[in-house]
């Protein structure tokens, strides 16, 4: 067990405010080596896009990096923006230096090719410039009657169920509390 992310929002509270996906090859290896059916690039990148609302850069900023709207979401709870303060540094200084040193500069790194150098979107709400992560989403919906936030507990498993339409949803979870109690929720 790795002792990190023990806050509301888990390790998404500790990710340097970066909102990026892993590489296609890395996620596909997870599925094959760990025998985790469905934990591959296609399914996980879809979930990443569904969790994100990307605020596109202005047209004059896209000259500094390659941005593909298809690699980002538009209706999710996590707000993403591009780091505006360093955009002009990339073509003038970083890109020539990195290419000269032999590094790849992939197109949009959220498109599955995350090897090499480039910009990553930041998980920042552009309305108030605060961190946007799963913890802030809990705060936004804290009045929901079906939200139960358990502290001093760690999830040990998720119980999955198939819906009549063939989708798989979380039906419950198993957890252990710091006091040693094991529980199942529905």
CATH number of the structural domain spanning residue 23: 3.30.560.10
- In a shared domain, residues 17 and 76: yes
What is the tens place of the pLDDT at every residue in 2-25? 556 777 877 777 777 888 888 899
Q: Tokens 């989403």 appear where?
A: 137
Do both 160 and 124 map to the same domain?
no
Which tens digits make up the pLDDT trace of 28-66? 998 899 888 888 999 999 999 999 999 988 777 777 667
Domain with 93 in it: 10-140
Q: Identify whether residues 122 and 32 lie together within a single domain.
A: yes
Cα–Cα nearest to 97, from 115, 117, 82: 117
Q: Flag whether pLDDT at 1 surpasses 60.
A: no
Under the phi-then-psi rule, with left for phi > 0, alpha for psi from -120 to 50, and beta for the rest, what region is 10? left
Tell me what the mean pLDDT of segment 103-124 comes to. 84
pLDDT of residue 186: 60
Q: Does residue 5 lie within any of the structural domains?
A: no
The model's pTM:
0.74
Tokens of residue 140, six digits:
């936004």
Domain boundary among 119, 140, 161: 140
Same domain, 113 and 25: yes
**SS3 for 92?**
helix
- How many domains does the chain divide into? 2
Within 10 Å of residue 25's Cβ, how many Cβ atoms?
12
Average pLDDT over residues 143-154: 83
Residues 35 and 113 occupy one common structural domain: yes
Same domain for 93 and 177 = no
Alpha carbon distance 61, 88 (integer Å):
8
């Amino acid at each position: 067990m790795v002792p990190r992310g023990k806050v509301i929002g888990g390790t998404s509270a500790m990710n340097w405010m970066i909102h990026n996906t892993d590489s296609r090859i890395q996620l596909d290896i997870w599925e094959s080596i760990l025998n985790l059916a469905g934990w591959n690039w296609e399914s996980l990148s879809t979930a990443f896009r569904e969790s994100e609302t990307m605020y596109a850069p202005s047209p004059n900023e896209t000259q500094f990096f390659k941005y593909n709207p298809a690699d980002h979401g538009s209706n999710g709870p996590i707000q993403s923006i591009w780091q505006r303060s360093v955009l002009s540094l990339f073509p003038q200084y970083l890109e020539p230096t990195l290419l000269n040193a032999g590094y790849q500069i992939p197109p949009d790194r959220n498109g599955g090719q995350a090897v090499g150098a480039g910009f990553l979107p930041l998980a920042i709400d552009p309305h108030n410039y605060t961190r946007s992560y799963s913890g802030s989403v809990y705060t936004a919906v804290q009045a929901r009657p079906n939200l139960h936030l358990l502290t001093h507990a760690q999830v040990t498993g998720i119980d999955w169920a198939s819906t009549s339409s063939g989708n798989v949803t979380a039906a419950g979870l198993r957890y252990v509390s710091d006091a040693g109690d094991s529980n199942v929720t529905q």
